[in-house]
Structure 1
Amino acid sequence: MTAAERAERTAAADDLCRAAYAKADCPQTGVSLVAVGGYGRGELAPFSDLDVVLVHDAAVEPGDWAAQVWYPLWDSGADVDHAVRTVEEVQQQASADLRVALGMLDCRHLAGDPGVTLRLRSAVSTQWRRDARLRLGELRQLVAERRARHPELAHASVPDLKQSTGGLRDATLLKALVASWLVDVPHGDLERSRQGLLDVRDALHTVAGRATDRIVPEYWPDLADVLGLPGGEAAQRHLRVLARRLAHLASLAWQRAEAAQRRPAPSGGRRPRLETVAPGVAISFEEVVLDRGAAIAGDPLLLLRCAAEAAERGLVLAPPTASRLVREGARLPEPWPHEARDLLVRLLASGPGLRSVWETLEETGALDLVLPEWERVRLLPHASEIHRFTVDRHMIETCVEAAGLIRRVARPDVLAVSALLHDIGKGGLTEHCVAGEPVAREVAARIGFDAREVDLVGTLVRWHLLLPETATTRDPEDPATVAVVAERLHDREELELLAALTEADARATSEKAWTRWRASLVADLVRRAAAVLSDDPVADDEVEQVTPEIVVPAAVAADPREVAVSVEDHPDGARVTVVSGDRLGLLADAAAMLALQRVSVRAARAWPQDRYGVSVWDVVEHDLDAVLLRQRLEAIVEGRLDVASRLRLGPALRLAPSVAVRPEVSESATVLEVRSDDRPALIHVVCRALAGAEVSVRSAHVSTLGPQAVDVFYVQEAWAGVLSEERAAEAAHVVRAALERTFGTTPD
């Protein structure tokens, strides 16, 4: 089945239509017969309909000849969709019905007055380009409704060649978007994918012996024979590769078209405006690209940094940028440095933005550099019909689901990586949980996890089916049921991670896989297992640890109103120490100093020492200028610099922040645990909110786990001790409100 055969079928149909038109003795001028839709594009499959319209000028009144055109076509046995319209009526229908407009964009002259066809094509094209911006939302809604009914062609268990995402409908819409002049699409890639899908449809009609677009499982071996492929699995992979490429093109085109709508009119001759968002990374026209002067050959983190920024912001990772980094970029050392792993986790935990960015990484070959093990599961069909997607897409959907659960676990980084790798063992002869564990451990070690973290990832992959299988097949009241779980897990940390992974995995599988009944069974099993695995309660103030004694600089000792900043470089960053007289708001000012300098904080500690306040900040950057930092801090302290107006806050929070009071942790202070998307100004906002409530931060323990900041603040009344329950609740509310007010949250 080839384009040449489609051309032959189209030519035969054209001859039939022309003969019918000639036999009807139509007027010589003012009337033409045109092919529209797939027939207009010359894409007839063996059992396709003939979509034709008899178009006439308003001055030409249709007579008996208008009806006579169709009889020879019906007598031939062809399935014909036909209509008689004036040029103006076609325009009116196209304006009222988007489907008509799309079909008429492909109108092609068959017989009669070519001038009428020319006017029709010109009128339809002009109307489409003129109204495209206004109709883009309507077109997007049409696509959304179709996609809600049909799964993605590349990942569906029973693909629909026309309606599925990445199918022939999307190919037609891409051509329509290009015709609108809003965006362009790589023509060669589009045509290769489109022609490949048409070949599969032709083969499907041949195998089925009728017009159909759905490929049921029993058709695959015969399709392979017609397409000249070695077997049913090869035929599936062939189709899915084509569909994935076309779906990727469609996704990029839609994002670019919508960005074009929001873009102001060009002022002429200006270079694209770049907004720097991270080292070497910028945004241009709502796409993540390389910044001017980016160290392509010297920065092995650049690819991951671009990907994470694009996914978190819901933007396009520009394919030329990814392709260039594949060709010219520096390679990551093994094991990966901490920042590389953190960027990968940020990418995996970015939520829905992960999908399109991951597609770009796959299509450009960048994924082979980051995760070569992905080839094991690429476009691999699931054996179970309950799965909506292929194995690789299911793993990405599990990451998307897990991203919404990271507030529940202490190690969101481990959860994100385990979600990505949980089915990596599929496709072999060994049980996939068993086969996947050593692969997952190898990947976890390569990306820089320590031995305990590697063990966590391996355990989660090995036992990711443990909870649902045990909960649904055993008596929950039987102590042996809980023992099955407790014997395989070490502690509650593993249990809470496994519970989150179980839910994410099930939600990504299908609606049937995570019903209220199944969820309640798993929750009950987790509760019972948690009681068995419970550790001893944390000793009072254990988290605080012993604070070191800092030598107070002479200038601060002489005048506590002074501030001192020192910087000590380390192999993986630097340590910034801030000392001044102890006062409310000092920690907030120090955090603002670093945020304004766009310094990435990896961890921080703060504590009072006599009458002084000390904070130590471990940061990613090297070669920081202590004098410049001190000058910036002095300007903040003295009120010469408006922090709120200068902070760059980044995208809105994807998940609502969590602020919990932990009364069991300390008897001498009130402990607030803040979990939120990591943002440069996060610590400043929290500390400023507490200072505004006249709550003193006695010590702070800041850490970042992938995309999530987990910050613990030991707080007291400004001149007293532990906060009352009412004051603690008020402080938690003030912090939560400040975070939401400052950063905003992304609507669900």
Structure 2
Amino acid sequence: MSAADREQRTEAADELCAAAFAGVAAPDSGVALVAVGGYGRRELAPYSDLDLVLVHADDVEPGDWATALWYPLWDSGHKIDHAVRSLTGTIEAADEDLKVALGLLDARHVAGDPNLTLQLRTAVLGRWRRHARDRLPRLHELVLNRHRLAGELAHESVPDIKEAEGGLRDAGVLRALVATWLVDVPHQEMERSRQALLDFRDQMHEHAGRAGDRVAPEMWPELAERLGFDDVVAVQMHVRRAGRRLTHLSRLTWQRVDRLTERRATLRGSRRPALEPIAPGVALSRGEVVLDKGAPVAGDPLLLLRAAAEAAERGAVLAPATVSRLVRDGARLPEPWPAEARQLLVRLLAAGRSLLPVWETLEETGATDLILPEWERIRLLPHASAIHRFTVDRHVVETCIEASALIRRVARPDVLLVAALLHDIGKGDLTEHSIAGEPIAREVAARIGFDAEEADLIGTLVRWHLLLGEVATTRDPDDPATIEHVVARLGTAEAASLLLALTEADARSASAKAWSSWRAGLVRQVGTRAHAALLARAAGASAPRIAEPEMVIPAAVLADPGAVHVGVEATGDGSRVLVVSGDRVGLLADAAAMLAVLRIGIRAARAWTQGQYGLSVWEVAEQHLDPGALHDRLSGIAAGRVDVSRRLARRAPSRLEPTVQIRPGASATATVLEVRMDDRQGVVHLVCSVLAGLGMSVRSAHVSTLGPQAVDVFYVQEEGAGILSEERAAEAAHAVREAVSALVETG
């Protein structure tokens, strides 16, 4: 598929439309059939609509011919987006509706009176230029709203080739901005990227057999083959690179447009100097950071970082021409970097949301190759995990932005920000990325001027940046062995404090789901306990003891231990359910069944005894739960009135076999049993029931969903005897494996 193919489709559509127009009794003059939008630009994709306007002179009344025209077009199988308007009505519609105006800027004559089409084009284009300064702020607002909804083509995990930022819609808007004569855009760069996206969209239509602009993950392999790329990563990078280039051009152009409209409103007649010095060798000119007059380009290796830091901190444009000149002619930084260079990099990374456009300019001009040549490893690299909304490189920048809001919580903001920049640098390697990234991070840290101890700290943060999230959601935070597991890997309280901030920044930049209030609470609990333990160790004291919770037993249960109490407490994004009754084997299984039968998603559970009473607390995803309804369901399950086995033991297809493993050494007081399988209701109940049948009790359960897979971890004890023997642990694993395998159909 190419521009020639689109031209052929357009010519065929023109012939069809011209024949339809010739077949109706339209007047010889004063009526024109006009193509607009993509059809007007001669860029029809295989399943594009034909966007048409039948324009008539103000003194020509449309007759039956204005309706009859469309029938042969409908009969041809094409989708038609059409309108019938007078010349004045068309111009007024363009004045009132920016979307109509954008389509008419590409108006092209198809049939009828060419003079009328010329009048229309002249009027619309003239009014567009005349009123541009007043209309462009509203257009920019529309564009930004669309970006908020569709995301960014270069970095979204499921990109929209048309509506996303950097997509075909933005390319059309850039053409409209150029048409105002207020700004210009590098034409060859824009067209190269636009044509690449048009070619890709043509192949999307052919592959899907229908119109569509969103690229689903399963489409990439076929599209790679159609476009002649070696693999899905190569074709994704090709498309995302085009989108990134259009995004960069679009942002720069809109920044210049905004300055034009602001200057018209507030700075008319201003005598401010063209160059305002803001730092050695760096100046501000019309909202852009540029080189000052006489800047020692070849003699100051800090100019590039200084300009970038100043632009980010001021929210100004980092002029691409300035960066390109510094990349080409500027002095190179010595290795290791001087302290001031490192400080400038940290200032850049700490700038918050303004970092994004500045880093984008550094990438587009090749400056990141000088500052961080390792960046090429992750540039536009797709994420393998469905939890991530961005490509790896954009995720890293977003992590730096999130980390910049947390720097007051840590003693070493510079270490936190550089660790955020490097935490995923190992991705793209066949080795686990945190392992692959550690030596790279140490090398980079040394090169940019950190001493050996600081480089070691950054390497540790990169190596263990997933640790708190994994441990918090799959291990019991109240078990001393869990905290010791974290402590042994970090070594210092400073590392624990920094890792907690890095974990939060990393999760927040991945997706909202990755940093829910429930997950955040667990991570902070583990992180702060590890920090306290490391502080105590450094002071030569014992780690703080984690006390068992003490709760007031409800009066009804005190009066009758056979009674059951169910309480509900609202949390940030879910609920906490408390179950209290006389202690008995199977109580936890019944509580799990209560939640599973009601299809309430379980996140974690903790169970303990308090005298003769059994208590359990369940963290669940649902809100607004009725404790009375929960109590009734639990009572029915305990009395045998609800057949839980029939309600929950339904086989379902699964791509992979479930796995059940014992995790030796994960706890000193319980045996840790881990179940991995497809995410589904009833697994916690099933496992608790199986273990209860073996006379074992579950002290706590922890449920973590990673994409389509659930990881359920159970802390199991002999009734009144603690950790299981090897034989009993093997018996438990075998029984649970048989039970969960019976739930799935693999294939």
Instruction: Give me the TM-score of the superposition, normalised by structure 2.
Output: 0.70
Partner Cα separation in structure 2 for residue 30 and residue 284 of structure 1: 51
Partner AA of 2:231 in structure 1: G
TM superposition outliers: structure 1 runs of 4+ over 6 Å: 265-268
Deviation at 1:182, TM superposition (A): 2.7
Partner Cα separation in structure 2 for residue 2 and residue 272 of structure 1: 49
Partner of 2:640: none
What SS is found at the alignment partner of 1:211? coil
Q: 1:151 touches 1:388 (CA, 8 Å); kept in 2?
A: no
The answer to whether 1:469 aligns with 2:464 is: no
Deviation at 1:73, TM superposition (A): 1.1
Partner of 1:708: none
Partner Cα separation in structure 1 for residue 224 and residue 305 of structure 2: 38
Partner of 1:98: 98
Matches within 5 A, 1:618-633: none
Partner of 1:255: 255
Partner Cα separation in structure 2 for residue 449 and residue 514 of structure 1: 31
Matches within 5 A, 1:544-583: none
Partner AA of 1:250 in structure 2: S
Q: 1:491 touches 1:535 (CA, 8 Å); kept in 2?
A: no
Partner Cα separation in structure 2 for residue 272 and residue 38 of structure 1: 44
Matches within 5 A, 1:281-360: 281-360=282-361
Partner Cα separation in structure 2 for residue 530 and residue 460 of structure 1: 14
Q: 1:263 touches 1:285 (CA, 8 Å); kept in 2?
A: no
Distance 1:420 1:477, change over 3 A: same
Partner Cα separation in structure 1 for residue 342 and residue 376 of structure 2: 20
Deviations 1:189-214 (A, max 9, x none): 11111011000000111111111111
Deviation at 1:535, TM superposition (A): 5.7
Partner Cα separation in structure 2 for residue 28 and residue 280 of structure 1: 67
Deviation at 1:180, TM superposition (A): 2.1
Partner of 1:584: none
Partner AA of 2:143 in structure 1: V
Partner Cα separation in structure 1 for residue 341 and residue 478 of structure 2: 45
Partner Cα separation in structure 2 for residue 224 and residue 527 of structure 1: 47
Partner AA of 2:300 in structure 1: D
Partner AA of 2:126 in structure 1: T
Deviations 1:261-281 (A, max 9, x none): 11249999x997001100110
Instruction: Give me the TM-score of the superposition, normalised by structure 1.
Output: 0.70
Distance 1:296 1:347, change over 3 A: same
Partner Cα separation in structure 1 for residue 103 and residue 517 of structure 2: 44
Q: Out of 169-178 and 526-535, give the one that drifted further.
A: 526-535
Q: Out of 51-60 and 481-490, give the one that drifted further.
A: 481-490
Deviation at 1:424, TM superposition (A): 0.3
The answer to whether 1:377 aligns with 2:378 is: yes
Partner of 2:437: 436
Matches within 5 A, 1:404-483: 404-483=405-484
Partner of 1:521: 522
Partner of 2:543: none
Deviations 1:480-515 (A, max 9, x none): 011111111222211111111000000000000000
What SS is found at the alignment partner of 1:352? helix
Deviation at 1:232, TM superposition (A): 2.0
Q: 1:492 touches 1:535 (CA, 8 Å); kept in 2?
A: no
Partner Cα separation in structure 2 for residue 41 and residue 212 of structure 1: 19
Partner Cα separation in structure 2 for residue 440 and residue 124 of structure 1: 56
Deviation at 1:54, TM superposition (A): 0.5
Partner AA of 1:534 in structure 2: L
Partner of 2:213: 213
Deviations 1:571-612 (A, max 9, x none): xxxxxxxxxxxxxxxxxxxxxxxxxxxxxxxxxxxxxxxxxx
Deviation at 1:29, TM superposition (A): 1.4
Partner AA of 2:445 in structure 1: A
Matches within 5 A, 1:78-89: 78-89=78-89
Aligned residues: 538
Deviations 1:309-363 (A, max 9, x none): 1111111111111111111000000000001011111111111111111111111
Partner Cα separation in structure 2 for residue 329 and residue 535 of structure 1: 50
Deviations 1:606-654 (A, max 9, x none): xxxxxxxxxxxxxxxxxxxxxxxxxxxxxxxxxxxxxxxxxxxxxxxxx
Q: Out of 301-310 and 223-232, give the one that drifted further.
A: 223-232
Deviation at 1:231, TM superposition (A): 2.3
Partner AA of 1:282 in structure 2: A
Partner Cα separation in structure 2 for residue 168 and residue 321 of structure 1: 28
Partner Cα separation in structure 2 for residue 208 and residue 537 of structure 1: 62
Partner of 2:183: 183
Deviation at 1:132, TM superposition (A): 2.1
Deviations 1:431-451 (A, max 9, x none): 111100000000000000011
Deviation at 1:288, TM superposition (A): 0.7
Partner of 2:616: none
Partner AA of 2:256 in structure 1: R
The answer to whether 1:63 aligns with 2:44 is: no
Matched-pair identity in %:
66
Deviation at 1:537, TM superposition (A): 10
Partner of 1:197: 197
Partner AA of 2:501 in structure 1: A
Q: 1:281 touches 1:306 (CA, 8 Å); kept in 2?
A: yes
What SS is found at the alignment partner of 1:423? coil
Deviation at 1:296, TM superposition (A): 0.3
Q: Out of 174-183 and 351-360, give the one that drifted further.
A: 174-183
Partner Cα separation in structure 2 for residue 296 and residue 40 of structure 1: 47
Deviation at 1:401, TM superposition (A): 0.5
Partner AA of 1:123 in structure 2: A
Partner Cα separation in structure 2 for residue 340 and residue 493 of structure 1: 24
Deviation at 1:100, TM superposition (A): 1.1
Aligned CA RMSD, in angstroms, stands at 1.8
Partner AA of 1:494 in structure 2: A
Partner of 1:507: 508
Partner Cα separation in structure 2 for residue 8 and residue 401 of structure 1: 49
Deviation at 1:455, TM superposition (A): 1.1
Deviation at 1:536, TM superposition (A): 9.1
Partner AA of 1:85 in structure 2: R
Partner Cα separation in structure 1 for residue 368 and residue 431 of structure 2: 25
Partner of 2:390: 389
Partner of 2:170: 170
Q: 1:422 touches 1:464 (CA, 8 Å); kept in 2?
A: yes
Q: 1:95 touches 1:101 (CA, 8 Å); kept in 2?
A: yes
What SS is found at the alignment partner of 1:534? helix
Partner Cα separation in structure 2 for residue 50 and residue 298 of structure 1: 58
Partner of 2:553: none
Partner Cα separation in structure 2 for residue 464 and residue 58 of structure 1: 69
Consecutive unaligned residues of structure 2, counting only runs of 5 or more, are 540-747
Partner Cα separation in structure 1 for residue 521 and residue 96 of structure 2: 49
Partner Cα separation in structure 1 for residue 87 and residue 409 of structure 2: 61
Deviations 1:212-238 (A, max 9, x none): 111112211221222122222211111
Partner Cα separation in structure 2 for residue 496 and residue 537 of structure 1: 14
Q: 1:377 touches 1:427 (CA, 8 Å); kept in 2?
A: yes
Consecutive unaligned residues of structure 1, counting only runs of 5 or more, are 539-748
Deviation at 1:466, TM superposition (A): 0.9
